[in-house]
Structure 1
Amino acid sequence: MARIGIIIGSTRPGRRGPAVGRWVHQVAVTDRPAVTFEILDLADFGLPLLDEPCPAAMGQYRYPHTHAWANAVARCDGFVFVTPEYNHSTSAAMKNAIDYLFAEWHDKAAGFVSYGVTGGWRATEALRLILAEVRVAGVRTAVGLSLFTDFSASGLTPAPHQRATLQTMLDELLTWSSALSRVRQS
């Protein structure tokens, strides 16, 4: 059974990431009961600015917060990155969390759900570049939620087409996660 981590990439107060992550999780578990989906909220891991004395590629982690994060990432076959767009990129917390690890990311797949004034597309594109370096394959289809049309005063209210796009992205993610599991086993 595949395990997919839904990584919520904002840690600031008043963030919208948890609502987006819950929506992704709800759609995912409803339509794909044979897959385990787990929310990995960066705020729960308390990762300070990268404080490991050795480069992540060495895999010599010193601190408990790094071990907890490494274990969470290692047990996943793929990921949905839920990212805000901050200043034309992903959040500093997301970049920091990726930089903490190396081998735990290798040969896994990623889907993207971004949000921002213009749908967060630049955050998704920035993540694609960062993740390529740690050998994570990004799927083509992505969801971009607009702060103007997919959120309301009551919270997240995605337009109907967003669910269909999310389902397509999840299908691609599961296909690539399955294919890459064979790469990890060889």
Structure 2
Amino acid sequence: MEKIKIQIILGSTRPKRFSEKPGKWIFEELTKREGVEAELLDLRDYPLPFFNEPVSPTRLNGQYSSDVATKWVNKIAEADGYILVTPEYNHGYPAVLKNALDYPYNEWNNKSVAFVAWGGGGGKRSVAQLREVVGELKMQAVDEAVYIAQFWKYLDEKGNLNTETFRETALQMLDKLIISAIELKKKRGKSVY
């Protein structure tokens, strides 16, 4: 069986951010799966300018005015599915993540996506907004998501994340994401003619 590639995208670039902890945990869980290649993407490594292209990304055909944008879009094109790892800021998700979602368009189409979020209430409102956006990008979101409410309560004395509370949900989410990514990859490989 051909491998599928899942990219975990850290949706925050702030200093002392929490996103690395759940991002690395989900990455480690994915690396245990046969037939899955996992890749951790950090938006800090892609300092995208705010989207200001002269036309919609649906019509850019890879012709971006920024080398960083071209690098980002090409990287996104490699994957079969994604996990967006995001905090909740003021009932929404970070602008840096929205900007990263806005550059590609065709590269997101017909691919699977899942969410890991946190905040005072677990990040549910940020995921609700993301579900609308990824739907417009023609992505298929899995139903399960990992919500970490008051994340600081799940850190040990060394600052490590205790994942036992969320592990079962995360495993179910990953199962559904992988199944969806495999099915969509098969469909993308078929001609409509």
- Are 2:174 and 1:170 aligned? yes
Q: 1:77-110 CA deviation, whole Å, 9 max, x = no partner?
A: 0001101001111111111100111100000000
Q: Tell me by how many angstroms 1:159 deviates.
A: 4.3
CA distance in 1, matches of 2:96, 2:86: 10
Match of 1:133 among 131, 136, 139: 136
Q: Which amino acid aligns with 2:158?
A: S
Determine if the alignment matches structure 1 residue 115 to structure 2 residue 121. Answer: no
SS of equivalent residue, structure 1 residue 173: helix
Give 2:147's aligned residue.
144
Residue 38 of structure 2 corresponds to which residue in structure 1?
37
Name the count of aligned residue pairs.
185
Instruction: Please list every run of at least 4 consecutive aligned residues from structure 1 whose deviation after the TM superposition is greater than 3 angstroms.
Output: none
Name the SS of the counterpart of 2:107 in structure 1. Answer: helix
Distance 1:102 1:114 in 2: 23
What TM-score do you get using the length of structure 1 for normalisation? 0.94
Task: Decide whether aligned partners of structure 1 residues 47 and 8 sit closer, same or farther in structure 2, where only a CA change above 3 A counts.
Answer: same
2: CA distance between counterparts of 1:168 and 1:95?
A: 26
What amino acid sits opposite 1:3 in the alignment?
Answer: K
Measured against aligned partners, the alpha-carbon deviations of 1:12-67 in whole angstroms (never above 9, x if no partner) come to 1111111221111112212x042100001111111121132332111232321111
Partner-residue secondary structure (3-state), 1:6: strand
State the alpha-carbon separation in 2 of the partners of residues 125 and 156 from structure 1.
Answer: 27
Give the aligned CA root-mean-square deviation in angstroms: 1.4
Go from structure 1 to structure 2 and tell me whether the alpha carbon gap of 1:142 and 1:104 turns closer, same or farther (over 3 Å shift): same
Contact 1:25/1:37, CA 8 A, preserved across alignment: yes
Structure 1: any 5+ residue segments left out of the alignment?
Answer: none
Counterpart code for 1:34: G
Structure 1 residue corresponding to 2:11, chosen from 9, 12, 16: 9
Residues 151 and 117 (structure 1), Cα distance of their counterparts in 2 relative to 1, 3 Å cut: farther
3-state DSSP of counterpart to 1:16 = coil
State the secondary structure of the residue aligned to 2:144.
strand
Aligned equivalents of 1:115 and 1:152: distance in 2? 17
The question of whether the paired residues in 1 share the 8 Å contact of 2:13 and 2:44 is answered with: yes
Find out whether 1:47 has 2:29 as its counterpart: no
Percent of residue pairs identical:
36
Unaligned runs of 5+ in 2: none
Which one has the largest radius of gyration?
2
- 3-state SS of 1:90 partner: coil
* Structure 2 residue aligned with 1:18: 20
